[in-house]
Amino acid sequence: MTPVLTIRSLAVSYGSVPAVRNVSLEIAPGELRVILGANGAGKTTVLKAILGLVRPRSGEIRFRDGTDLLRLKPHEIHGLGIAWVPEGRQLWNTLTVLDNLKLGGFGDRDKRAVDRRVGEMLERFPRLGERRHQVAGSLSGGEQQMVAIARALVSAPGLLLMDEPSLGLAPLVVREVFRLVREINEMGISILMVEQNANQALKVAHWVYLLETGNIVESGSAATIGAKESVKDVFLGGHA
């Protein structure tokens, strides 16, 4: 089966400082893969490279039938069906919830379909429905994460990139977010998620990559990676 995304030997630098040294990975349709890594390991940079927001020094990133993402601009990459849930939500805080959701489908020419999906999101997340005319910056962290996820889903993506969706959220909300991640994946949307919360990430992932100082050092099924002592020590606080 043709992978949704293929990355080979990706290297990205910020000026002379290397952030990603050698990353190769791929995601099959319907898969949920997780990149685990500590702060500064290069997780977010990998996602930004896929989105066209940073230009790699070398390597290749291909989508589905081989479309070279490195030749495309960010808005063109989004048009292929790649959506993003950024680290820290990064909503447009001065815009209303409704405007944030509508902008999620900005690149889609079928505005009726966008309106329909916005309506679906407001039904799926009743709290957002109640607060649709409120500016996004006034919502709680959990509600903001729901907006960030709903905004990404409005574009009906084939591949969803999620950057630390649990960051800064209360434990109960984190569980809710991961339940949602699993649901989205079960809808058939491929997901590449970067996380530090290994406990939760290992429960939902089909395949896990370990990223250290810009290199993929291990990869395997969630069970295999979760059983490794190094992972238990670094990410699971010494207990699985």
Partner 1 sequence: MDLFLQQLANGLVIGSTYAVVAIGFALAFTVLRVINFAHPDIFMVGMFAGLVAAVEWPALGFLVVLIAGVLGAGFVGFALERTVIAPLRGRDVLMTLIGTLGVAIMLQNGMAVIAGPDPIAYPALIPRRFVDIGPVTLTLRQVLNFAICLALLALVSIYVRWTPWGRATRAIAERPDVAAAFGVNVARICQFTILLASMMGGVAAVSVGVLYGSAHAFVGLLYGLKAFICMLVAGNRYFEGVMVVGLAIGFVEALVTGYVSSSLRDAAAFFVLIGVLYFRPNGLFGSYAT
List interacting residues with partner 1 (CB under 8 A): 51-53, 73-75, 77-79, 83-84, 86, 90, 92-95, 99, 102-108, 111, 151, 155
When the beta carbons of 56 and 86 are compared against partner 1, the nearer one is: 86
Closest separation in Å from C-beta 152 to partner 1: 8
When the beta carbons of 53 and 236 are compared against partner 1, the nearer one is: 53
Closest separation in Å from C-beta 95 to partner 1: 6
Closest separation in Å from C-beta 110 to partner 1: 13
**Do residues 82 and 158 touch, judged by C-beta distance below 8 A?**
yes
Strand partners, 96: 135
When the beta carbons of 14 and 106 are compared against partner 1, the nearer one is: 106
When the beta carbons of 155 and 200 are compared against partner 1, the nearer one is: 155
When the beta carbons of 42 and 81 are compared against partner 1, the nearer one is: 81
> Whose CA is closest to 68, among 117, 146, 8?
8
Residue 116 CB neighbour total at 10 angstroms: 13
When the beta carbons of 60 and 99 are compared against partner 1, the nearer one is: 99
Closest separation in Å from C-beta 92 to partner 1: 5
Closest separation in Å from C-beta 172 to partner 1: 27
- The DSSP line for the chain is ---SEEEEEEEEEETTEEEEEEEEEEE-TT-EEEEEE-TTSSHHHHHHHHHTSS--SEEEEEETTTEEGGGS-HHHHHHTTEEEE-TT----TTSBHHHHHHHHTTT-S-HHHHHHHHHHHHHHSHHHHHTTTSBGGGS-HHHHHHHHHHHHHHT--SEEEEE-TTTT--HHHHHHHHHHHHHHHHTT-EEEEEES-HHHHHHH-SEEEEEETTEEEEEEEHHHHHH-HHHHHHHSTT--
When the beta carbons of 80 and 236 are compared against partner 1, the nearer one is: 80
Closest separation in Å from C-beta 87 to partner 1: 11
Closest separation in Å from C-beta 106 to partner 1: 5
